[in-house]
Structure formats: structure tokens, C-alpha cells
Amino acid sequence: MNQKSFYDLLSRYESGNCTEAEKLWVDKWYHNLNSKNFKDLSSTALEEMQTNAWHNINNIERKPTPVLKVKRLWPKFAIAASIMVAFFIAGLYLVNYNHAEQSFLDENAGLNLISKTNESDSTMVIALSDASTVTLKPQANIIYPKVFAANKRTVYLKGSAFFSVSKNPQKPFYVYNQKLVVRVLGTSFWVKSATDNMPAQVAVRTGKVHVEENQKSSLFAFSKEKLAQPILLTPNQKGVFSEHHLNKTLVSKPIPLAEAYNIPTSLSYNFKEESIREIFKTLSEAYGIEIKSDNGQISTYTFTGDLSKKGLYEQLDLICGTISSKYYIQGTSIVVSKN
């Protein structure tokens, strides 16, 4: 295989268009690159790495290599080319490699760390030393200290998990993942790591959560102007991270605050000739979400119906259906519109 073919393989790998066999080999090649210090490698070593790479790729493709006549200048050119390709691959790997987990391990090297992966098909509950609990979804992994440090509580998550954190204002709780850092004092929330089809997310059930971009996700430090602006999330809100931006919106299934905090409530969802204005006020209080209309006429309508045991969006569907309106989510608010 010549250099052009080698570069083509790397390009197809980055775009996800290579075969499974090619992907497995390049993954292994990247892993080998990570275990070597390129500053300490000689030209001969780099040439040997490149020669082995081309040889293995040829075995994957199972294509006969044509016999070519080469001039005596080829060895020197091959050495130079192999060095360039090796450093190109190393650079490509370092740019795409996420350093967040390694940084977490380095910063907590003095603690007795435990790593657990949920390899079952159901959720797994893990009790932490501070009485907090973590519910891991299948295939999720968490790294945490057997006993937390004196000044803060830190864990590292890969995958999705629900956290129920015990309150301790003197000892904040941090959840790190590949893209984000979540800081809480005592609350419950979901953290979802980024995947190929979904960005990193944080969804709050109770309490308040501070979310910021993980600056340790890359080998190279980002400028403050490029980093995402931190956000503060409250119940039924979620933060979505993408391309150095954190956006606030609503969770897909809001739940009443009384249910989230497990406290009694006197609110009733059985309305009889109730004005839409008062119904929106009741629902806003129940869910902690601002519900408003963009048309003054909407507030003058009335509604009769029992909305108990229905989710917020289903409640709004029924209300809007009777007054010929629709609703949409605008940031962390819900707007009911005649248009």
C-alpha cells in the first residue's frame, strides 16, 4: 500500500466509512501510538512502525502488492515519508483523544479509586461513602473513591446515570465526564455522556446544578472565549452541550415538584370552567416551569376537565385542543400560541 492509500484509510476511518476489519486495526494502531513517546522515537523506529502498519493493512485488504522498481533514493524517501506519516497519525490521535478521564485519575491518584461497569441489562445502584447513590444504566461505567477526599466529592462517569446526592454544603459533589463538569451540593439529576447520536446532557430532578464544559477534555487548553458559558439548572430543566455551547431547555418528561421532592400538595388538576390564566398559573406552580401565552385572548378562555394522572405535555395538548391553540418550548418556558 502506498502513502495515498494509507491517507485514504485514515480519512475513511475518521468519517466512519471503513470496514470493520480496518476499523479494528486502526483502533489498535491508535492505541499503540498512545503508549509511545514520539519525542523519544528514532527515525528507524518510526520507519519500522510505519512499515508494520502498511504490512498489516495489506493483510486486512488481502490484495496482492504489485512489484515495483525503485531507485536507490527510495530508502531515504521512505524514512522521511514514514516519519511524516507517523507524526501525522500521532497528531491526529492526540487531537481526537479525550484526556478528561486521565486527568481525573491523575488528580485523584492519592485516593483508593474503584471502577464499576454495569454489564447487565437492567440498572445498577451503587452506594457511595457519603450516603449518595448512583443508578447506572446498562453499559455505563463510574470511577469513584472508596472514601471521598476531605474537601470535595468527585466521580467520573462514562455513559448515563441518575445521581441522588446527599447534602453537604462544606463538601461539594462533582461529576466529571468526557465533555462536562457538574457541581452540586445536594440534589438529584441525570448525567448522560455524549454518543455518536446524542450530545452530552444534564437533566435536573431536584435542587440546583451548575454545569460547565470540561476543560480537560483536550490536550490543548481552550481560551475562555471558546469555552461554553456555564449554566445553572433547576428542576425539570436540562443542559445540552454541543460545539462549545451549553443550551438550557426542558426535560422530555417534566414531573410535579411535589412528586420529585416527595412532599404533599394541595394542588388539584380537576378544573371546572376555570380560566386558562389560572390553569397556567396552577401548572407553572406544580412543575416550576413558566407557562405563558403570546395572545391576550387565550387567557380569557375557560376549560373544564380532569387532568390528573397525565403528564404536563399531555395536559397542555388537551387544553390547547379545546381552545384551538398550540404550544411550543422556548428555552425553559412554554408558550401557548394561536398561530
Interatomic CA distance for residues 193 and 178, integer angstroms: 7
pTM above 0.75, yes or no: no
Got the DSSP string for 69-101?
A: ---TTHHHHHHHHHHHHHHHHHHHHHHH---HH
What pLDDT sits at residue 296? 85
Largest CA distance in the chain: 94
pLDDT in tens, 71-102: 555 565 566 666 666 655 555 555 555 678 98
> Residue 41: what pLDDT?
47
> Boundaries of CATH 2.60.120.1440 in the chain?
100-249
pLDDT bracket for residue 61 (50, 70, 90): very low
- CB count within 10 Å of CB 289 equals 21
Range of lowest pLDDT (56-60, 239-243, 303-307, 329-333): 56-60
d(CA 287, CA 279): 12
Task: Judge whether 214 and 179 are in contact, CB under 8 Å.
Answer: yes
Query: 198 vs 234, which has greater pLDDT?
Result: 234
Give dist(CA 187, CA 207) in Å, integer: 5
User: Can you read off the three cell numbers belonging to residue 102?
Assistant: 486521565
pLDDT tens digits, 264-316: 999 999 999 999 999 999 999 999 999 999 888 898 899 999 999 999 999 99
Strand-pair partners of 242: 245
pLDDT at 51 over 80: no
Band the pLDDT of 18: cuts 50, 70, 90. Answer: confident
Q: Specify the pLDDT at position 171.
A: 94
Domain at 257-337: CATH code: 3.55.50.30
Asked whether the predicted pLDDT for residue 225 surpasses 80, the reply is no
- Report the CATH architecture of 100-249: Sandwich (2.60)
